[in-house]
A and B are shown apart, each in its own frame.
Chain A
Amino acid sequence: MGRADSPFGNVNIGAAMNDQGDDDGIVLTEAQKRARRSRSLAIAFALAALVILFYVMTLVKGPGVLIRPI
């Protein structure tokens, strides 16, 4: 597919995806970088919490440890 046929028109996609400071690309501002970092950390914490939840619940339901009725 030629550039003229691209759904993105004349935009250089490689440059647009690059946040290292190319002149014709999108350069993230400090605020955007901070927001992206906070979102990335939240995703990391959520995934870690999910792993811990599954690990602990496997102990509860599986090998029979920690089982006690309310």
Chain B
Amino acid sequence: MNEELELLLQELALAEKVRYCYQCGTCAGGCPVAGAEPSYNPRRMLEALARGEGEAVLAADELWLCTLCHTCLERCPQGVGLSHVFTRLKEIAAARGHLPESLLAELQTLYSAGRVIPLSGPIKRRRAQLGLPAVDQQSGLADLRQIVEATSLGRVLAAARAKGEEKNG
């Protein structure tokens, strides 16, 4: 297991009581996602972490199914901060370039266009009809790119690019 993940798991063991899980299944039973998609099971994810299979949890697409409704966290009798744990794991996965394509596409659009939903012909027309001022596409774009590059978003983007090249090359 890589060092970063190991450190994170040590931190989560303290901050989010990951090791307190006694596998009762309250999280999985109450999870709205697990109800719709049985392959997603928060109890199993905690079990895998306890078994030292953190890498597998990071690599699994299911990690990204958590909607952060926090029901599991509210109900856990042992006070494990499940949704917080999943958020931290997502951060590491993303930093390695492992994130769903839809999210990556959003991030790339943000970087290239300055907004998650880029200005399109129809939007411009609609703005004109409503009498809204025209938007300067370039305004603030440089600043935003600087922010992305300076923060972990830049790491995510770079990692995703590297992974993409690896795949293509």
A, B assembled together:
no
Q: Which residues of A contact B (CB under 8 A)?
A: none
Q: Which residues of B contact A (CB under 8 A)?
A: none
